[in-house]
Amino acid sequence: MAISRRIIRTALTTLTTLATAGLLLTGCSGGSPSGTSSSAPAENAAAGTEELTPVTVGLLPIATSAAVPLGIDEGIFEKHGLDVTIQQGQGGAALLPAVSSGTVEFAVGNPQSILLANSQGLDIRIIAGYSTSYENVDDPEDQAPSGVIALEESGISSWADLEGKRVAVNTLNTQGHLTIMQSVEADGGDPEQVEFTEIGFPDQLAQLEQGNIDAAWIPEPFLSQGRAQEGVQFIGDSLRAIDGLYSMVTFTNGDYAEANPEVVAAFRDAITESTELAMADEDAFREAIVDYTGMDAAVVDSLNLEYLSGELDRTILEDLSATAHKFGFLDSEPDLDQTILD
């Protein structure tokens, strides 16, 4: 299956990111300068009787994101009256400012960054779920799509053993960092004594082998590569520290949501249908991952996939917000009545 969708791979420019990321760092309040058009999706766009509403969605270049191009290729977004362009960002630090500024209308990213942005005065609205680590699997530890590994010779065999050790995460103050602290505390250790260091996912295995770090928090495909090496021990998936935690959710900005409620509702419905398709047809989803990421098909076939769903459970976000506040990741908890767009 060759995915026939438009992708702008470098559209999240450094200039845009730097210009808007300052809002997150300064905690500046105020509305997001998004477009205010009130164009609504066509009710019968698939039949060609109305024009499609053009929207852009920001995605990370990772396997889990591939449900969106799969849905585009299968005509799901068009059925809901949307002409979707994909814009790739290398991390949440690029996607959030792009949505806040109106550069893109929608994006898929981790919820903790959204809670942080809203606690600092930005108006970002979560409109749907997207991905979680597990759902109805026989052995969640064996099928973990992300987790912490360490060398057996390090003596680390539990979360509490990370106390006093050097642990790599891809970005500080995000969900990997937070949930490792929660896991250490729950296991009787002192999370404040864990030394976190920021290292990109592709470099963590080499740093672990060289002894520059004691443990690494990595997702697929790096996790499977690490667990396959002799002398490497799997500690666990820290994301399970918060029951049902979303690894990613779907979001837009407040101004756009209020000006375009029909478009937002259509996008939510299309995301929900696309994630349902990905779960119902795993072969098609894995093929979409190959097309979207460029990864080798043999590697993709061995990936432990996350569970995808557009459904949104408010209680999970409440737990995340409370945990982030407890560990000082949030100075204050955001108003979830404002953050979540039902």
Domain extent, residue 303, equals 6-133+244-339
Kindly state whether residues 75 and 168 are assigned to the same domain.
no
pLDDT at position 46, please?
A: 45
Q: How far apart are CA 253 and CA 127, in angstroms?
A: 10
State the total domains in the chain. Answer: 2
The angle, 0 to 180 degrees and rounded to 10, between the axes of the packed helices 92-101 and 14-26 is 90
pLDDT tens string 308-320: 999 999 999 999 9
pLDDT tens string 241-278: 998 999 999 999 999 999 999 999 999 999 999 999 99
Q: Is residue 141 a part of any domain in this protein?
A: no
Q: How far apart are CA 99 and CA 107, in angstroms?
A: 7
Q: Hey, what are 331's tokens? A: 């100075």
Can you list the positions of beta strands (E) in the chain?
6-8, 53-59, 82-88, 106-109, 124-132, 146-151, 166-169, 195-198, 215-219, 232-236, 246-253, 307-308
Kindly state whether residues 122 and 257 are assigned to the same domain.
yes
Contact 237, 243 (CB under 8 A): no
Mean predicted lDDT score pLDDT of the chain: 85
pLDDT at position 89, please?
A: 80
CATH code for the domain of 63:
3.40.190.10
Contact 204, 171 (CB under 8 A): no
Kindly state whether residues 97 and 181 are assigned to the same domain.
no
Kindly state whether residues 124 and 263 are assigned to the same domain.
yes
Q: How far apart are the first and last CA of the chain?
A: 34
pTM of the model: 0.81
